[in-house]
Structure 1
């Protein structure tokens, strides 16, 4: 059998036959054309065709498409440089600002006042260019024809009007010599200085020269101070070890009081950290596990839920338990205060309302959820309560009423992350678990959904900033990070990475500037994300103060 690899191997170049005297056989001039196409024939150099009329180079012609490409620069629309699924959009916003500046200067240098319908103030053509809807030369839907011809000279040399001509030439400046041109000034020799000049000074010197061909309005735009962008630290400024911090989705073990004390439940013990002096003290210990904790609004008492269903209230000044409240028959997964009312949700599917001023263990019992209640948040200003459960349901209650006033059933996983907006009335944010991964914002007053975004990860906890309209979510499977969202559009602003396990616990500082996150990697991380709010100006008169109180 013949080897296919050998038969497919190309043979070496054929050797032309020779005569007996050693000279090569010359083929006749009238050889057939088939002989030239034969394999054994030598390659023949074909003469260069001159069908197009070009011999040594290609000279392009200006066509209608070229004009359309040039005139399209006059359009003020820019592509979207902010992808919605970006991990960090601050850098993209900076890039977008740079693109907008470049686009404005390019159009100003090429077209000048041609892009403006009101050529009265030529020095402000940059602002008019930014607001120009489209190029004024021709309508894009109508192709240029013979009676709509475009003047190439007027396109490349923009002028304002015959009464006030203006061209990108040296008419208004002294024409530079060969030794004072921009290129020559950059390459000339200069003595070494002790300090290196800054970039701003170099730009200032470059455009302050009278020989600069850049238009004055473009100079002003380039020399404007850059906009100060927000700086967000991507790494925590403090990391604390938290041994025995439970890695359980249904636990809520970190909370920050209004008196700047952080409470953390580690296994069977509770520790308090005073952030003013960084002192750490143990509050209590138990034979059972702690599953949730929540500070009262004044910061004087701490409510703690346990695995056995008991709820304990601790006096912080006395550092002892002043009351133990029964009622649940299984672990207490979430707690929330509304002045003197303490609400608790449990794995026994019930929500109990307790008045801590009375001796009764509870005065109202809710049975709306069919599985464990894992999320519970009061809106104290509007006296509304939101609850989320392992049954993928979210209910909103008016006060302590037994029947909910709103029912949300769009999530497809457990809803533990719940937050009320401190900036707008009746706005609620909810986040789903592993099978859902969606962050939703609702208007409770109108019973409508405002925003819905896929976070691509399990949402374990959520905090709405008091200082800015932004939301911080902590994630589990499978990103293990924190994400900062714009509360108006739900665009991601920044992603904070550092934890190596699910970020289950999260709380906000008293001044609203710092987020503390706790994860299954047994660490607590402090993130400085927000600035302090400026103090509000007090009313100038008592009458105005009384009027504001009436409103």
Structure 2
């Protein structure tokens, strides 16, 4: 053994001894790595186990369910038990406005000409068509560092036409009307944390009135932002695992985690937690109905649960009103805005079925086989159509007309080179936004 080998072994041994002596047991479950270019894992010490995210004392053994969607990267996540304090509200993310260059042009929307000379910037213009053509995107913008994770929800458009897109550990705010980048929400260092690496964003959601943006991270943190005033409003009690879903019911916020916990929060109250329920499987989809009467939660095991609107009380014994099953994870979902109690779900790559459910009877009223993975879906109310985004083999965006109970394809939009993970529709239904694993953001004029 050479001298360099002995030094490396001593350093390795010293690190093992330090970690085993200073850290406690850490709970871990599969989850995507923080960043694909750094396929490493982080284990944070569980300092305090909160009752809200602790497993029930009596839990049935996990049942074998449908195939789960996979990624090209290892999956791991950590559990955190740091209590949320008022001091933490002053930490967290900071707003960084987009600064105009000479001539008033924003660096994020200037033409991208030479990849060798210029670094790829978020929302940099990659391509633009002079005329709108059916099946072709009007604008193609850059979305570097977009995480290739099927279970994330990283794109949303507010009722005011403001687009929020999470790229890595930052959220970029883009105005669809002016087609200009307004700024970004960037994490600032938090003193006292053992891990200095910033967690990536796992999901985000605009409030119904478009005034507040809620952001969840892989470390279980939830923050509320007043984007117009460019300030962090509040940090809410966090989960012990990845935040997989966020949905608003008027002024109330519901969040779902990879441990199957669903929390109902009132951000206006000093103690925001007003209710909680649990499902046995991981939450990968969460959405309130337009009227706030029902909450739909999707699981990685293919179960779609419908919960009542009464959310008061923290209890693990509450049961859903209806439970439906499909052969793959229920991640892509959406309530029909003009047909109460109707909800659409999309199947994964081994399923590929687009289904519309009657949640009153718990039955599938219509379905269509897409022969591809359905990554996301959105309803366009004014056009009375359903929009879906897909993976292999064509990585396309499909538009469907739905006149109960008929579901028919209208047209297909092609342009992405990898699976289209996220969708959003502007308020008047004239534009569709899509973000794909090819790290591109497309605008489709419909």
Q: TM-score, normalised by structure 2?
A: 0.64
Structure 1 residues 38-85: Cα deviation after superposition (integer angstroms, max 9, x where no partner)? xxxxxxxxxxxxxxxxxxxxxxxxxxxxxxxxxxxxxxxxxxxxxxxx
Identify the residue that residue 173 of structure 2 maps to in structure 1.
272
Identify the residue that residue 6 of structure 1 maps to in structure 2.
none
**What's the CA shift for 1:266?**
0.8
Identify the residue that residue 433 of structure 1 maps to in structure 2.
348
Identify the residue that residue 518 of structure 1 maps to in structure 2.
435
Give me the whole-angstrom Cα distance separating, in 2, the residues matched to 1:254 and 1:449.
28
Unaligned runs of 5+ in 2: 1-131, 188-197, 312-317
Identify the residue that residue 185 of structure 1 maps to in structure 2.
none
Give the structure with the higher percent strand.
2
Alignment of 1:476 onto 2:391: yes
In structure 1, which of residues 256, 260, 267 is the aligned counterpart of residue 161 of structure 2? 260
**What's the CA shift for 1:371?**
2.5
Give me the whole-angstrom Cα distance separating, in 1, the residues matched to 2:402 and 2:300.
25
Give me the whole-angstrom Cα distance separating, in 2, the residues matched to 1:400 and 1:389.
21
Structure 1 residues 261-297: Cα deviation after superposition (integer angstroms, max 9, x where no partner)? 1111111111111123222133311222111110011
Give me the whole-angstrom Cα distance separating, in 1, the residues matched to 2:423 and 2:287.
14
Identify the residue that residue 353 of structure 1 maps to in structure 2.
264
Identify the residue that residue 290 of structure 1 maps to in structure 2.
201
Give me the whole-angstrom Cα distance separating, in 1, the residues matched to 2:364 and 2:255.
27
Sort the Cα spacing of 1:232 and 1:449 in 2 relative to 1 into closer, same or farther, 3 A: farther
Asked if structure 1 preserves the Cα contact closer than 8 Å seen for 2:324 and 2:362, the reply is no
In structure 2, which of residues 228, 231, 244 is the aligned counterpart of residue 317 of structure 1? 228
Matches within 5 A, 1:103-122: none
- Greater length-normalized contact order (CA 8 Å, ≥ 6 residues apart): 2
Identify the residue that residue 251 of structure 1 maps to in structure 2.
152
Identify the residue that residue 306 of structure 1 maps to in structure 2.
217
Asked if structure 2 preserves the Cα contact closer than 8 Å seen for 1:437 and 1:457, the reply is yes
Give me the whole-angstrom Cα distance separating, in 2, the residues matched to 1:283 and 1:354.
25
Aligned length: 297
Give me the whole-angstrom Cα distance separating, in 2, the residues matched to 1:275 and 1:474.
20
Give me the whole-angstrom Cα distance separating, in 1, the residues matched to 2:292 and 2:222.
26
In structure 2, which of residues 344, 354, 357 is the aligned counterpart of residue 442 of structure 1? 357
Identify the residue that residue 319 of structure 2 maps to in structure 1.
403
In structure 1, which of residues 227, 241, 259 is the aligned counterpart of residue 142 of structure 2? 241
Asked if structure 1 preserves the Cα contact closer than 8 Å seen for 2:250 and 2:292, the reply is no
Alignment of 1:373 onto 2:283: yes
Give me the whole-angstrom Cα distance separating, in 1, the residues matched to 2:395 and 2:248.
29
**What's the CA shift for 1:435?**
2.0
Matches within 5 A, 1:47-196: none
Secondary structure at 1:446 match in 2: coil
Give me the whole-angstrom Cα distance separating, in 2, the residues matched to 1:238 and 1:259.
20
Identify the residue that residue 22 of structure 1 maps to in structure 2.
none
**What's the CA shift for 1:462?**
0.4
Give me the whole-angstrom Cα distance separating, in 2, the residues matched to 1:335 and 1:428.
17
Asked if structure 2 preserves the Cα contact closer than 8 Å seen for 1:283 and 1:319, the reply is no
**RMSD between aligned alpha carbons?**
1.5
The higher radius of gyration belongs to 1
Give me the whole-angstrom Cα distance separating, in 2, the residues matched to 1:380 and 1:485.
20
Alignment of 1:467 onto 2:382: yes
Secondary structure at 1:434 match in 2: coil
Structure 1 residues 139-179: Cα deviation after superposition (integer angstroms, max 9, x where no partner)? xxxxxxxxxxxxxxxxxxxxxxxxxxxxxxxxxxxxxxxxx
Give me the whole-angstrom Cα distance separating, in 2, the residues matched to 1:319 and 1:288.
21
**What's the CA shift for 1:257?**
0.8
Give me the whole-angstrom Cα distance separating, in 2, the residues matched to 1:378 and 1:318.
27
Q: TM-score, normalised by structure 1?
A: 0.52
Give me the whole-angstrom Cα distance separating, in 2, the residues matched to 1:426 and 1:321.
35
Sort the Cα spacing of 1:468 and 1:276 in 2 relative to 1 into closer, same or farther, 3 A: closer
In structure 1, which of residues 376, 390, 410 is the aligned counterpart of residue 300 of structure 2? 390
**What's the CA shift for 1:337?**
0.6
Sort the Cα spacing of 1:485 and 1:439 in 2 relative to 1 into closer, same or farther, 3 A: same
Give the structure with the higher percent helix.
1
Secondary structure at 1:490 match in 2: strand
Structure 1 residues 455-511: Cα deviation after superposition (integer angstroms, max 9, x where no partner)? 101111001111122111111233311111121222211111111111111111021
Asked if structure 2 preserves the Cα contact closer than 8 Å seen for 1:388 and 1:415, the reply is yes
Give me the whole-angstrom Cα distance separating, in 2, the residues matched to 1:441 and 1:312.
33
